[in-house]
Amino acid sequence: MDKKYLELLANQYPNINSACTEIINLKAILSLPKGTEHFLSDIHGEYEAFNHVLRNASGVIKNYIEEIFGSTLMEGDKKNLATLIYYPELRLDVVKNMDINMDDWYKINLFRLIQVCKRVASKYTRSKVRKALPKEFAYILEELIHEDSARRYKYDYYNEIINTIVKLNRADNFIVAICNVIHVLAIDHLHVIGDIYDRGEAAEKIMDVLMNYHSVDVQWGNHDISWLGAASGSEACICNVIRVSCKYFNLNTIEESYGINLIPLATFAMETYKNDKCLRFRPSRIDENVNGREIDMVTKMHKAITVMQFKIEAQTILRNPEFELDDRIFIDKMDLNKKTVLIEGKEYPLTDDNFPTIDPKKPFELSPEENEVMEKIRQSFIKNPKLHQHARFLFNKGSMYTVYNDNLLLHGCVPFNSDATFKEVKVNGKMYKGKELFDALEAIARNGFYAKCNTPERILGQDYMWYLWCGPNSPLYGKEKMTTFERYFTNEKKLAVEEKNPYYALTNSEEICTKILNEFGLSKSNSHIVNGHVPVKVSKGESPIKAGGKLLIIDGGFAKAYQSVTGIAGYTLIYNSRGLVLASHEPFSSTEEAVKQEKDIISSTQFLEHNFGRKMVESTDIGRALKTKIQELEELVEAYGRGEIKENKKRL
């Protein structure tokens, strides 16, 4: 090893003793069971269900309680304990209104919580557990977790700690602290396989949770990239996120959560379409308590932004001929006198012929009023601090794909030709396929956010973020075309069909999945592809497990809009030291019911793979990194022994 590197390493480990101590520590870590990974996909703004699944660790915490206490606790007591762990602050408020002796309740539940915490901490080093402990209670918690209260002479010591916590009125804080430690240790690492945004009402709350999560990565979905494009200033993406929000009557995320001003759009829409009922633009999901005037306003906003979107998308397509999307431009193919539109060489009746802002001579140009509205909204998006904070997080922790512990995680697909060869796609003048296509698209998308404003690189990057939302060769979309225009303006069902990329049929073959894994550098027989994006129709007998277990599709319908299709309310894939487990969830009622009535999500699990012998840290990505460090430290020890590098025995 390079002597300069060893000298730098010697600054951290200044003598043989310190280097050897670290080698011993790292080798011991290699022999521990691997941490538990959880995989979630297509959350689509469903914050309460997502939050509950994290808090109950997809049913894992309930299993720990059953394993620890078994028949020694009544079912009601086990439910009480589980709910306390999930929502400690909220549950404490409920308990304090009960007619019970709180001191006794505190002591009983503190003992029980410590037992659960011991269980989830059992496969981690003291050092890792210590890092998860809150500073104000770190010493006490460490004592309680690592001491055995059943040992002779220890019971009184252990009991006195609990009694003193209660006497000093610190029990509430201590309970919250220990429950948070359980949450951290129950899920060692979280993978989100795309589509955090749209449809549901609280994507920004999900983003806040993820930003504060102890260990997480994100694979972008096409809905996420659309929001990233909007945050970057892409007008096509801005129109799209507003349109989708109008469609699902979910403007709160934009207006209230992010504070983006849509009044210019509302004012313009109410004036421009005041005599238009805009029947095709009535939101598909409306709260019962919403008044008719608000529905009318959102309906008109929906039409206004959709017309603007089709104009701006046409401009985007025309300045990017390599997108090969000229056949997706329809505004210039409408004959408003005949009330028809030309699609694929055939005329179809239009369901709407009121387009006061479209100039037949310049159909792709925004009207002066539309231009003014668009610029005001664009400024709101690009100057919004909270949205940009979330966007930076998604760029820092997110990517087009992730290879983690021998698994390939991606949201949509790897573009294929029908003959089972990787499809070549032109990106910025060069042809790419397979892994190289993902890498090229990710690099250009990052330019759309990080390159200097108004530079060709930034504009091109923003155009590609829009393409990633809906393009036929986008790995995040994976369909031949997005038929948004046809669904709004025609009644022809055949025109609304969106053919999937051959990937989705080909990956029923184990051979094809192996080919994909090899393309991304994975050659082990126990590797898998983990996908989201396409809802699994469980109610129709469809399985999330494809190609003999090589492909796992985990979009089970977190979004309420999909639950009628899937028949369930989401999946969690769990990868622990014993193997792979798939948990399917029933619909979640509400946090309020979970706290007050102790209603947990009902989840059923099935083992996908069972390891013969537990999988240890040694065989993980972290383990491989630790082995490299051990090798470096061993070379440092040898260099000390040969006198090539001098020891500093005064430093610890």
Give the mean pLDDT of 116-133: 86
Q: Are residues 432 and 563 in the same domain?
A: no
* Residue range(s) defining the domain that contains residue 89: 37-193+532-615
- pLDDT score, position 150: 57
pLDDT at 276 > cutoff 70: yes
Instruction: Identify each DSSP E strand in 450-568 by its residue range.
Output: 528-531, 545-546, 551-553
Q: Are residues 334 and 463 in the same domain?
A: yes
Task: Please write the tens of the pLDDT for every residue from 6-27.
Answer: 989 999 999 999 999 999 999 9
Whether residue 386 lies inside any domain: the answer is yes
Lowest mean pLDDT among 44-58, 283-297, 341-355: 283-297
Q: What DSSP string runs through 65-87?
A: HHHHHGGGS-HHHHHHHHHHHHS
> Residues of 537-560 as b/e, b for ≥16 C-beta within 10 angstroms?
ebeeeeebbbbeebbbbbbbbbbb
- pLDDT score, position 303: 97
Task: Please write the tens of the pLDDT for every residue from 374-409.
Answer: 999 999 999 999 999 999 999 999 999 999 999 999
Within 10 Å of residue 429's Cβ, how many Cβ atoms? Answer: 6
Whether residue 387 lies inside any domain: the answer is yes
Q: Are residues 356 and 322 in the same domain?
A: yes
Q: Are residues 312 and 369 in the same domain?
A: yes
Whether residue 218 lies inside any domain: the answer is yes
For residues 260 and 378, give the distance between their C-alpha atoms in angstroms, rounded to a whole number: 10
Q: Are residues 16 and 63 in the same domain?
A: no
- pLDDT score, position 291: 82
Q: Are residues 356 and 479 in the same domain?
A: yes
Q: What DSSP string runs through 296-317?
A: HHHHHHHHHHHHHHHHHHHHHH
For strands 571-576 and 603-610, give the pairing: unpaired
Q: Are residues 547 and 634 in the same domain?
A: no
pLDDT at 222 > cutoff 80: yes
- pLDDT score, position 142: 83
Share the mean pLDDT of the chain: 92
Cα end-to-end distance, the chain, whole Å:
24
Q: Are residues 538 and 475 in the same domain?
A: no
Task: Please write the tens of the pLDDT for every residue from 289-314.
Answer: 778 899 999 999 999 999 999 999 99
Backbone angles phi, psi at 199, to 5 degrees: 75, -65
pLDDT at 649 > cutoff 90: no
For residues 97 and 86, give the distance between their C-alpha atoms in angstroms, rounded to a whole number: 19
Whether residue 444 lies inside any domain: the answer is yes
Whether residue 143 lies inside any domain: the answer is yes
Q: Are residues 321 and 260 in the same domain?
A: yes
Whether residue 518 lies inside any domain: the answer is no
Give the mean pLDDT of 191-204: 93
For strands 401-404 and 340-343, give the pairing: unpaired
pLDDT at 349 > cutoff 80: yes
The interaxial angle of helices 235-247 and 368-382, nearest 10 deg, is 90
Q: In the listed set 486, 503, 520, which residue is the last one of a domain according to the structure?
A: 503
User: Which of 61, 395, 425, 28 is CA-nearest to residue 231?
Assistant: 395
DSSP state of 331: G
Q: Are residues 370 and 485 in the same domain?
A: yes
Domains identified in the chain, total number? 3
Residues 283 and 249: beta-carbon distance below 8 Å? yes
For strands 401-404 and 407-410, give the pairing: antiparallel
Whether residue 353 lies inside any domain: the answer is yes
Give the mean pLDDT of 129-155: 76
> Residues of 622-632 as b/e, b for ≥16 C-beta within 10 angstroms?
bbeebeeebeb
Lowest mean pLDDT among 89-93, 162-166, 371-375, 453-457: 162-166
Q: Are residues 388 and 241 in the same domain?
A: yes
- pLDDT score, position 498: 94
Task: Please write the tens of the pLDDT for every residue from 559-588.
Answer: 887 888 888 888 999 999 888 999 888 888
Q: Which tokens in the block code for residue 566?
A: 């899937």
Residues 261 and 376: beta-carbon distance below 8 Å? yes
Q: Are residues 492 and 472 in the same domain?
A: yes
Q: Which tokens in the block code for residue 72?
A: 């020694």
- pLDDT score, position 651: 54
pLDDT at 149 > cutoff 60: no
Whether residue 513 lies inside any domain: the answer is no
Task: Please write the tens of the pLDDT for every residue from 514-539.
Answer: 999 999 999 888 899 999 998 888 88
